[in-house]
Amino acid sequence: MCRNTPYQTVAIAVFDAGRALWQYYHQHKFASINIALGERAGYNVNASLYDIREYFQGRNDKGKMNNKSTDAAYMQLITALRESLKVLAKKIEPKVHEYGF
């Protein structure tokens, strides 16, 4: 049984936003399903948030990840995730100070 906490609805919002982004990534048709060890291109069934960001945002000539993507749907999803994370951070901030983390 799940007990209700003051953070539950906020945490679920973060989870839902992350899941929507993850689902959007996995809906894409990738040019290469062939993933060799050590390569970062192509489809990654175990993609982390960093991998998903790298896929959509790409990298510049110096190898640094770009700040934005040309994919409007991705930008909407990542913005929703970031906003929900900010709300969660604000919600837990008093407890962080209270317990000295």
- By the 8 A CB rule, do 40 and 10 touch? no
| 41-96 pLDDT tens trace | 567 888 999 999 999 999 999 999 999 999 999 999 999 999 999 999 999 888 88
The pTM (predicted TM-score) of the whole model is 0.79
| 7-17 pLDDT tens trace | 899 999 999 99
d(CA 3, CA 38): 43
- By the 8 A CB rule, do 57 and 65 touch? yes
If you count DSSP H runs as helices and E runs as strands, how many of each does the chain have, helices first?
A: 3, 0
| Residue type for position 29 | K
Domain ranges of the chain: 9-88
d(CA 79, CA 56): 13
